[in-house]
Structure 1
């Protein structure tokens, strides 16, 4: 577990740094295990650039999904047999929007992006204000966008086996009511931690002071222990509910292609949630300045990104393409009948 030393200064501020085992001029920043990975600027920037690349890929996929939703929406206005397929377009749209804003929110924790594109517009920003940015990132990521995405995904899986589709307003309202407790808990433990000053900072702090790849003093974002604990409890409950829903769908669906999609979705989501909990637990062993921390956080980001991408493909793109294909099959007999009426000799 992460061990931090607190240094009380005359100006009232509290800083913390890893324990120094030797008086060498450049002590290792690793807290418990030796630094197996070199903490060099190239490695740090490589983590940020890799994250930005996958963020761009997820946003492009979301734009593609959005185009499918809009296209089906326009098609369903002219073709009545597509209206039933388009009844949940708002929920699918919410799924796409949540994955996009989650990806954009991940940019807030990247020192490279903040230093080059955010801080030039805020020249007077201090370390405390930078720490507030990290708090916003943690609350939005673990408390709002990510839980909301997975709950919306679960909703789409459940509603797929219902004959009567719920109204769009009720669907959005129910999703909001389910997601709001997670958001409120994260806000309480990140902004109003009742144990602040009584427990080690890694348990409630969402940032640590350090140096970015340019050598500038900055606040590096972390994931506090209590936020991870809340998200871990959510993941356990969600995993049981999601597996139960997938089992119910598999019991009713006889289409082999649909069964393969559900199996793939369940596998990806379970692996992503499990890997995220493991990575969050391992992240407490190092400071954000360590390259090992960068590897762990990047791996966690990739697992979540992959689950969101697969979720969009299976629950947005594939159902819409199937609906359009089914709509084309329905139109062919009608078009053939009209042609026979106009040309009886055929």
Structure 2
């Protein structure tokens, strides 16, 4: 077996394994999202409902990532060699799979995945009273993602339809006949084997989209960094922006370099795999930062809320007992009971002030405790969150 075939097979197997890990991570986060959403609503933690509301958009992000992963498997030349799964299809069907991959992944799955990320980040800069994270917002976000993705989908479809090999009798495609085939062709055939390649026009359109989106992510990331509460969350935002602003352009670069080599050569396989790996790392990091960690932080806060409620209940019962003893014996002890009641009253006032501030909608953070009335337990986990302000 030639060295190129060995490398292609090894990279193909590695690609399938990595996509499998991405799917497992996605399914775990989907189950985790359902669990979090159900627990918050069943146990009545209204304070955390704000952080549970975008669960549909989070799951949509994961589904787009899984869709993209399956598309990457379908384009593998490893599956088209003799005796493999896609080799059972005739050449026409194999060509259709390659063309469908360009439209599906480069025109739909990738743009929708990053647009969903953009809307999730933008939602963190909205006021709580603006109806940002409601069920209606989830539906609007899905519509906006599809509408924003539609122009790129049309462009990628146009590249496939304008390929002279798609309809050789069409006279309006004379201009495209003069261009090298790698500008518009998504298929290369040799020795009865079909290879999926990346049309240079498709890569250029995706590159323009990535440039605009990267600029937007950097701009919105800088705004979030200025508003976050703690350094831990700042590191997460920096990691998120770095993964998008570096790995996404890196994928475009590798896709563009893939046209300099023949599909059956080792350099083509290397560039294609590196382009896949760049976006895989970006998708995995984003799923962790925007799906897993917010849910884990919110569940940690829920446990802290339970501890505070238990502490408050025990404190109140203790002072009721002290008051009862005071009535039967010494009058000075009544002062202790009065202090306990005053403490509970001040705690209630603090809670009501907090509720008014939440309704006002100027600021939201995960530490929803009154410093004087509800101190956090010593062993409680560190809480994360950032302020939510209106996006002008």
Both proteins in one fold, TM over 0.5? yes
The CA RMSD measured in Å over matched residues stands at: 1.9
CA–CA distance in structure 2, aligned partners of residues 191 and 57 of structure 1? 34
CA–CA distance in structure 2, aligned partners of residues 137 and 46 of structure 1? 21
CA–CA distance in structure 2, aligned partners of residues 297 and 337 of structure 1? 59
Give the direction of change, closer, same or farther, for the CA distance of 1:228–1:248 in structure 2 (3 Å limit). Answer: same
CA-to-partner distance for each residue in 1:104-161, whole Å, 9 max, x for gaps? 11111113335566447xx4x3322211110011111111111111111111111112
- Could you tell me which residue of structure 1 aligns to residue 344 of structure 2? none
Any residues of structure 2 matched to 1:1-346 within 5 Å, and which?
39-78=3-42, 79=44, 80-114=46-80, 118-119=85-86, 123=88, 125-164=89-128, 165-166=132-133, 167-193=137-163, 194=173, 195-210=175-190, 217-340=192-315, 344-345=320-321
CA–CA distance in structure 1, aligned partners of residues 77 and 123 of structure 2? 41
**1:335 Cα deviation from its structure 2 partner:** 2.6
Q: Which runs of 5+ in 1 are unaligned?
A: 1-37, 212-216
Which structure has the highest helix share of the two? 2
**1:82 Cα deviation from its structure 2 partner:** 2.3
> Which aligned segments of 4 or more residues in structure 1 are displaced greater than 4 angstroms?
114-117, 193-196, 339-346
Give yes or no for contact 2:261–2:268 (8 Å, CA) kept in 1.
Answer: yes
- Greater shift, 38-47 or 223-232, is seen at 38-47
Give yes or no for contact 1:204–1:224 (8 Å, CA) kept in 2.
Answer: yes
Give the direction of change, closer, same or farther, for the CA distance of 1:340–1:296 in structure 2 (3 Å limit). Answer: same
**1:188 Cα deviation from its structure 2 partner:** 1.3
Give yes or no for contact 1:220–1:288 (8 Å, CA) kept in 2.
Answer: yes
**Greater relative contact order structure (CA < 8 Å, 6+ sep):** 1
Q: Tell me the TM-score normalized by structure 1.
A: 0.82
Q: Secondary structure of the residue that 1:83 maps to in structure 2?
A: helix
Give yes or no for contact 1:81–1:327 (8 Å, CA) kept in 2.
Answer: no
**1:342 Cα deviation from its structure 2 partner:** 6.0
Q: Which runs of 5+ in 2 are unaligned?
A: 164-172, 323-392
Q: Secondary structure of the residue that 1:244 maps to in structure 2?
A: helix
CA–CA distance in structure 1, aligned partners of residues 293 and 154 of structure 2? 34
Q: Secondary structure of the residue that 1:197 maps to in structure 2?
A: helix
Q: Tell me the TM-score normalized by structure 2.
A: 0.73
**1:200 Cα deviation from its structure 2 partner:** 1.8
CA–CA distance in structure 1, aligned partners of residues 181 and 282 of structure 2? 31
**1:163 Cα deviation from its structure 2 partner:** 2.1
Give yes or no for contact 1:161–1:252 (8 Å, CA) kept in 2.
Answer: no
Question: Which structure would you say has the larger Rg?
Answer: 2
CA-to-partner distance for each residue in 1:203-223, whole Å, 9 max, x for gaps? 100010135xxxxx2210000
CA–CA distance in structure 1, aligned partners of residues 273 and 315 of structure 2? 61
CA-to-partner distance for each residue in 1:253-311, whole Å, 9 max, x for gaps? 13211110010111111111121121112101111100111111111111100000000
Give yes or no for contact 1:108–1:114 (8 Å, CA) kept in 2.
Answer: no
CA–CA distance in structure 2, aligned partners of residues 143 and 91 of structure 1? 20
